[in-house]
Amino acid sequence: MSALIEVTDLKTYFYTEDGVVKAVDGVDFTIEHEKTLGVVGESGCGKSQTALSIMGLIPTPPGKIAAGTIKYYRNGGQPVDLVKLNPKGKEYRSIRGNEIAMIFQEPMTSLNPVYTIGDQIMEAIVLHQKVNKKEARDRAIKMLKAVGISLPEQRVDEYPHQMSGGMRQRVMIAMALSCNPQLLVADEPTTALDVTIQAQILELIKSLQDEFHMAMMMITHNLGVIAETADDVIVMYMGKVVEQAKATDIFHDPLHPYTQGLMESIPALTKKKDRLKPIKGVVPDPYNLPKGCPFEPRCPHAMDICREQMPPLKDYKPNHKAACWLYE
């Protein structure tokens, strides 16, 4: 498969009065056509900021893409470096929401309470697809039906407060897919939902991905979601990628102690465990990161070199990278 998005040495920093927060610090990955990249890590590790960097939605100031490239292979042609485009410019706006769409983290706050859901879906369709309002309304109804909302002709005129959390999440998916994007960025699409609705939403996203031939970037802290959806996985910690591999390799043979810790903390019905093993310690202060590996203060295998030098991300198995001195 050919690359759709190539991210190289991406650095997104926030310049505050208290210091510089390196939210994304030298990240590399590739998303291939019709494939799913899973991005895993606990809160504050830089997952969402990586996605917002691709979307051109980093708030400036205080945020800024300090270095790196985001190459988007538009329509299979020559790549466009999104970093070099003006986020408010015409070309970026023709890409964002149209060719690269995003399902935001909180459906409760992402929908405008004073507009009907039909108006909110139609806005993107009219803007990008150059159709009239009647055609846009018909497409909005079609998308609501596609995401499994009953009585779409009636629901299209309802307001967000008239819907449950699961239905609002479906509306967000319908809005993101309304222009048939090449890449769908899903930022924690099932976080606020109960388990049965989570399973339905994941199944829905997967079936729509197959139907519309999309690539997807699935951001989550839930490894169960990754197992269900992803082809490739990157594990992030404090703005850096600490492990990168095929999803099957990550689950069967995790290399980095942080990934191993995430695996250990998953409850499993098939394993007889007395207690879950949490990752000890807390995430370091982003204004005062350790000199070497950022995971060193919490790592059960920490060595002297870990305190002094950041390990490089390199292959220790075929197509399986880790940033850890244990394997040197």
Q: Tell me the mean pLDDT in the region 254-273.
A: 79
- Say whether pTM exceeds 0.85: yes
Q: Is the pLDDT of residue 236 over 70?
A: yes
pLDDT tens-digit series, residues 59-108: 888 899 999 999 999 876 788 999 999 999 989 988 888 889 888 877 66
Q: Identify any residues that bridge with 102 across adjacent strands, giving them in sequence order.
A: 185
> 3-class DSSP state for residue 174?
helix
Q: Which residue has the higher pLDDT, 264 or 162?
A: 162
DSSP labels, 94-140: HHBTTTEEEE-S-HHHHS-TTS-HHHHHHHHHHHHH---HHHHHHHH
Q: Is the pLDDT of residue 115 over 70?
A: yes
DSSP labels, 208-223: HHHHHT-EEEEEES-H
pLDDT for 280: 85
Structure tokens at 275: 């207690």
pLDDT tens-digit series, residues 147-195: 888 899 999 999 988 888 778 888 888 888 888 889 999 888 777 667 7
pLDDT for 61: 84
Nearest to 312 by CA among 299, 291, 293, 290: 293
Q: Is the pLDDT of residue 265 over 90?
A: no
Q: Is the pLDDT of residue 256 over 80?
A: yes
